[in-house]
Amino acid sequence: MTDQGVFSLPSTSKDSRSQFRQSGCRFWIKRAFDCGAALCGLIVLSPVFIAASVLVWLSMGRPIAFRQQRPGRFARPFMLLKFRTMSDGRDAGGKLLPDADRMTRVGRLLRATSLDELPQLWNVLHGDISLVGPRPLLMEYLSRYSPQQARRHDVMPGITGWAQINGRNALTWKEKFALDIWYVDNWTMMLDLRIVMLTFMRVLKRDGISRAGHVTMPEFMGANVAAPLKSRDRDVGVKMNLCIYCSGGFGKEVLDIARRLNRAHSLWDRIVFLDDMREESSFYGADVFRLEAARERFGAAAMQAVIANGEPFVRKALLEKLDKAGIDTASLVDDRAVISETATIGAGAIIFPGCFVSSMAVIGRNIAIIAGSTIGHDTVFGDNCMVSGQVNIGGGCSIGSESYLGMGAQVKEHTRIGRAAIVGMGSIVFADIPDEVIALGNPCRPMRPNINKRIFG
């Protein structure tokens, strides 16, 4: 399991077929089992459902249900339902109190018996989740996953799962994700039945309800969260240096954005280029260094980098070099771009002037979005994508990692663009585009496999 904080949907895994395990006939068998079991559960447990609703209403008032957007299969958002277990208590400054202070007696009872999860049977009937699968976590975690961790979204999420019967919230995040990936790679209907039976035993024993010292699971911060500079480093005046990886036409545009941001906000001590191919020592008024020379000159702890290359797989390769060198990635968001406060922007993303990123959109790591592009609400990107200028993407779309969207492309809402797909300039996408294809036209259709994984040349 890798420890790099990279978000990828779908990811490049050791078993690229994992996302197809729950497909075709096998998917419909699992779906029939889910619907039958969920419907029986709602009927048989209806007295418990009513009793729990009354208890929540008497102890906390309305609303009875807790609703929160979570990522489903391929990270497509849906609204998760649970019984409320915490009050809305706030401090004098209007901020929510810690979970331990807001958890009610009824909430503790519901969590201890797992009855707070009962409303998710409606999610199962609706097709948002399955009875068994990796638990759907928070939307903001998407950009914090490593490629391996992101593979948990190759299958339907579930009410219970392999991690839940092997420790639940008593596990560390790393252990939980490892169990999720094992489930993805080994899924069968017999495994689901085994998990369902073992879940009843775990609920009766009340194992793993919370981590030691926590009422709920601690927040997942990502495997590659950059450690802040130590206070003693800051005391001696360590300043960050922005390194733009690749000097060329794209690099000039990125340098212009970085200089403008630096004039307005004084973010970096120096802005330089990294380029292992260029012989000149300067380009476009900025110094040029080879990667190792820059690392020796500034030190990895005082470097941040962005990648100025339009080839998705080159972006990916350069990002891996930066990760190996221990150099953090910076996000460049031009002040003239409009970004919703509920959107998530991954490390290393570059967003040009005139772009609009709507509510609850998730922009993965190391993505470039060129001027005038619009990203609709709840759209989720993988890593290392390239979005050319004037691209319009509707709400609720899923864009796979290492994808390229040509200038002026239009993507209909709730459409999936597969991993390593190329959508040609001016194409209008009405239907899902598979992985690793070149798609063109109006309407946009797959033309041939993307064998070379190259856009230019």
Q: Would you say how long the chain is, in residues?
A: 457
Q: How far apart are CA 124 and CA 144, in angstroms?
A: 26
Q: What's the distance, CA 124 to chain centroid?
A: 22
Q: How far apart are CA 411 and CA 174, in angstroms?
A: 36
96 forms bridges with which residues in the sheet?
90
CA-angle at 116, arms to 110 and 121, nearest 5°: 145
Q: What is the DSSP letter of 264?
A: H
Q: Which two tokens stand for residue 423?
A: 């959508």
- Name the CA dihedral angle for 315, 316, 322, 323, rounded to a multiple of 10 degrees: 160
User: Largest Cα–Cα distance in the chain?
Assistant: 76
Question: How do strand 374-375 and strand 392-393 relate by DSSP bridges?
Answer: parallel
Using DSSP bridges, classify how beta strands 368-369 and 350-351 pair: parallel, antiparallel or unpaired: parallel
Residue from 126, 153, 265, 377 carrying the catalytic annotation: 377
Sign of CA dihedral 109, 111, 114, 115: positive
Residue that has been written with the tokens 């849906």 in this structure: 78
- The number of beta carbons lying within 10 Å of the beta carbon of residue 83 is 23
CA 310 vs. chain centroid, Å, equals 22
Going by C-beta distance under 8 Å and a sequence separation of 6 or more, which residues neighbour residue 351? 331, 332, 333, 334, 337, 339, 345, 357, 363, 369
Q: Which amino acid is at 239?
A: K
Distance CA 255, CA 285 (A): 10
Distance of alpha carbon 73 from alpha carbon 221, whole angstroms: 21
Gap between the Cα atoms of 19 and 26, Å rounded: 12
- Report the distance separating Cα 438 and Cα 420, nearest Å: 9
Q: Is the dihedral of CA 98, 100, 105, 106 positive or negative?
A: positive
Which residue spans within 164-254 are E strands per DSSP? 241-245
Does residue 377 have an active-site annotation? Answer: yes
Cite the active site residues: 377
